[in-house]
Structure 1
Amino acid sequence: MDFKLLSACFGALFISCHASFGQITDNPKVDEQSAPYVKIKRVELTDNNTIIYLQFIEKRTPQPEFRQPRSLPLPDFRQGQIPEQGNQIWLDPETRLYKPGEIDKKFKLIKAENIPTATKKKVAEGDTVDFVAYFERLTPGIEEFDFYEGRSSGGYQSWNFYGIHIKNPLKKQVQKSGAPTAKGTSPATKPAGKPLAKAPVKPAPQPQKEKTATVSVIQGMVFNAKTKQPVAAQLSYVENGDTLQFKSSSGKYRIGLDAGEKYNFRVTARGYYGSSFTVTPGDSSGRASLEKDLYLTPLIVGETILLPNIYFETSKYTLLPESFPELNQLVEVMRDNPDIKIRVEGHTDNVGDFDKNLELSRQRAEAVKNYLTEKGIDTARIEAKGYGGTRPLAKGSEEERKKNRRVEIVITEM
């Protein structure tokens, strides 16, 4: 055989084999993930599929000097009902890939290898499981995507990855040559006659509308309220009766939510006073992605911190139950920082009798102090003081004056 011809054949074979392997990204960068014990080893794009190679590592439980029988479940999620039998893993068949912020553009799971999707697989301490998930092919040009298994429930932790960066460039458009088409012979003209009746045309079937995805995404950054620098933080929220946590070492977070639910979030970080907020994705005017940056106040001497969710009966100092979550958060801060001492400050607006307002603000500060001491905080660590309407934050309308009716704490010692 001609050597040049043989070389050309081998070259064509090499090119075809290389093309069949598609675009490969080893150990892709992942911005955030819900479970640290699962990682993405590789993403491969072929003509028809997005193939994701993953690895699950079941951590070992430290052995105490005298091993006690375990009567409680292991702290890991996805655990079995009987701890001695080990944990269980599987991949939800509804797992899909999304382009961040465009949840209607999804790519479905086709199949999985070495991990079940209809049943569960037991794993023992220290086990490593390598498995592969095949999805529909990502559209060329999508070089960042989310791997979303679902919302955690029933004590099981879903495996969600946010911001997976891969190589997936747009395909180059091949320009068609503008060569003129060959002239054909003009058809012979038929003699005029009675026009033929047109056959009835059936209307084209309308494509079935795909159900709108009910998943929404909330994302943003957690910052130091003073320096505006990112803060490593933890976000906790309840979904379907389960308390879920999302930890971020960089301050960046991205969490998938049910668009039809209401969520109460709590944000905490070591050395900071936490924050709470409520979000209902369905009220976001149809947006698939909600942006919310969060700012935490550092715990430093002299810092004044507003307790935003403290409520009393009108013109009284009786705490309402809606105040308890905020006060319980303050209790935890005091327990986690045993050297902190605080001053609870009560404030009212300047409408009404000055002396009565002053007394009411003092009584409300005392009510907060009493709640803390009833929860076990040493009374010597808490001072209570009322300022009435002498330190207003706002003037003007009734809506503005509401800001003056508040409870604050000041860190006096650490």
Structure 2
Amino acid sequence: MNFKLLSASFGAILLTIHTSFGQITENPKVEESSVPYVKIKKVELTDVNTIIYLQFVERQSKQQPQFRSQPRMSPLPDSRIPQFPQQGISQSQIWLDPETRLYKPGEIDKKFKFIRAENITTTTKTSVANGDTVDFVAYFERLTPGIEEFDFYEGRSSNGNQSWNFYGIHVKNPLKKQPEKPSKPIAKATVPPAKKPAAKPAAKAPQKPAPAPAAKKEAEIAVLKGTVYNAKTKEPIAAQLSYIENGDTLQVRSSSGKYRVGVDAGEQYKFRVMARGYYGSSFGLAPGDSSGKSFDQDVYLTPLIVGETILLPNIYFETSKYTLLPESFEELNRLVDVMRDSPTVKIRVEGHTDNVGDFDKNLELSRQRAESVKNYLIEKGIESSRIEAKGYGGTRPLTKGSEEERKKNRRVEFVITEM
């Protein structure tokens, strides 16, 4: 065997030994991701790193080019927007936040820091044209052996930009087998030679310990997870969650109904849940009010079907009047969005009161309140022909219990009359 052949064989052996140390997962299963246009192509675990290979694809409509504010994409200032309406050419800007971390789901203390990236910037923004594909690589600290599911959490957002987050990434990362330690031979006891007692050292004055450096406070992350269901069938449905973080509106889309969101444990949140063909819902979350770092919140949405009666839970009026209070606007705007998304839907707004007081006055007040809701929808651009308003006074109570229970009778509902 000549020297060149020997060298090549030796190099091949070294390469085999090196790659055997890593675990590679091609196209890993990802339970949920915050955006559809960034994919994880491969995860490689070496002795020192978790290496994630990702791909970004910029795709926009050629018929109606738009400059969207998508996760980790920001619209260019007006003075820099390219003017190519015929070709539908546009640009977005991408980068990777160096504060990105990997977490073990449900165990936020187990986090693995970002180290470096290839083919994507972390301090400046790179422009990407319509149709371009960018393959890039992110290096993190090595996942502890045995962690075979983790979250990729970028999470920090500013100036209308959203983050790239991936939840439930499944990889090959088995526990390492500990080699058995050989038993040490028992040595025969020997008697050490006698020694003179050492002189007792002089006592030193006690020294004041130096103050420990203050640890850098890092934002704690909490995890919110759950499933969005059809309230009638109890089956999971595709849905979208939106919430505000640091002044920016973020969105999480779920095709399976399951969702997982990382949030700042020191902030307060209000989540809005929407699904096409359903009436949306909302709920609040204040992670700091609880000692836990993981929260479960399932959501049940009512389908929009003819004949379905849907309660508008947060509609408020001035006492004994039909003037809408500002606290009602968020709920009414949700109904506006539903009617915009489903332009063939027609509804009947129904007002109800309790049965205390004059019957005729209650009937008139309920009608006026239903009309107030109708007028609000019209002001927001919904055609009046799609909305009917009717008052029932106290003729359709939900309960006849205590005074507190009877408050439920004072309500506004809507009924789907046509699809």
Report if TM-score (shorter chain) is over 0.5.
Answer: yes
**Normalised by the size of structure 2, how large is the TM-score?**
0.85
Is 1:112–2:117 an aligned residue pair?
A: yes
Alignment deviations for residues 287-319 of structure 1 (CA, whole Å, 9 cap, x no partner): 222211111101111111010110111222111
CA distance in 1, matches of 2:13, 2:187: 33
Which stretch of the first structure deviates more once superposed, 76-85 or 258-267?
76-85
Q: In 2, Cα distance between the equivalents of 1:328 and 1:149? A: 30
CA distance in 1, matches of 2:390, 2:93: 54
Q: Is 1:292 aligned to 2:297, yes or no?
A: yes
CA distance in 2, matches of 1:44, 1:328: 46
Q: Percent identity?
A: 71
Distance in structure 2 (CA, Å) of the matches to 1:339 and 1:88? 37
Report if aligned partners of 2:34, 2:164 keep a CA contact under 8 Å in 1: yes
1:53 counterpart = 2:58: no
What's the counterpart of residue 386 of structure 2? 381
Task: Look up the SS of the partner of 1:393 in the other structure.
Answer: coil
Q: Distance in 1 between matches of 2:403 and 2:299?
A: 28
The Cα of 1:395 is off from its aligned counterpart by 4.6
1:5 match = none
Greater shift in the superposed pair: 355-364 or 404-413: 355-364
C-alpha displacement at 1:246, in angstroms? 1.9
Q: Give the Cα separation in 2 of the matches to 1:57 and 1:295.
A: 33
Q: Does 1:243 align with 2:264?
A: no
From the superposition, tell whether residues 340 and 74 of structure 1 become closer, same or farther in structure 2 (CA, over 3 Å).
closer
CA-CA distance at 1:194 after TM superposition: 6.6
After the TM superposition, which of the residue ranges 98-107 and 333-342 deviates more from structure 2?
A: 333-342
Q: Residue 94 of structure 1: CA displacement? A: 0.8
Instruction: State how 1:47-196 maps to structure 2 within 5 Å.
Output: 47-59=47-59, 61-62=61-62, 73=67, 77-81=73-77, 82-84=80-82, 86-190=91-195
1:272 aligns to what?
A: 278
1:303 maps to 2:303: no
Q: CA separation in 2, counterparts of 1:360 and 1:183?
A: 102
TM superposition score normalised by structure 1: 0.86
Deviations 1:67-99 (A, max 9, x none): xxx8x7456533433233832222111111111
- Are 1:261 and 2:267 an aligned pair? yes
Give the SS at the match of 1:59: coil
Offset of 1:29 from its aligned partner?
0.8
**Unaligned segments of structure 2, at least 5 residues:** 2-9, 83-89
Among candidates 228, 246, 250, match of residue 222 of structure 1: 228
Following the alignment from structure 1 to structure 2, what is the Cα–Cα distance between the partners of residues 137 and 205? Answer: 32
Let me know the Cα RMSD of the aligned residues.
3.1
- Say which SS state the counterpart of residue 188 (structure 2) adopts: coil
Q: Is the 8 A contact 2:69 2:161 kept in 1?
A: no
- Match for residue 234 of structure 1 among 226, 230, 240: 240
Task: Give CA-to-partner distance per residue, 1:172-203, whole Å, 9 cap, x none.
Answer: 23333444531341223445687556778987
Residue from 362, 380, 385 that aligns with 2:367: 362
In the alignment of these two chains, the number of paired residues is 401
CA distance 1:16–1:186, shift in 2 (3 Å): farther
Question: Does 2:326 align with 1:321?
Answer: yes
1:325-404 to 2 correspondences below 5 Å: 325-404=330-409
Q: Which amino acid aligns with 1:290?
A: F
Distance across 1 between alignment mates of 2:211 and 2:142: 26
Secondary structure at the counterpart of residue 183 of structure 1: coil
Q: Deviations over 1:131-166 (max 9, x none)?
A: 211111111111111111123321323211111110
Contact 1:35 1:157 (C-alpha < 8 Å) held by counterparts:
no
How far apart are residue 32 of structure 1 and its match?
1.3
Cα distance change of structure 1 residues 16 and 205 upon mapping to structure 2, 3 Å threshold: farther
Partner of 1:19: 20
| Residues 10 and 180 (structure 1), Cα distance of their counterparts in 2 relative to 1, 3 Å cut | farther
SS of aligned partner of 1:333? helix
Preserved CA contact (<8 Å) 1:275 1:296: yes
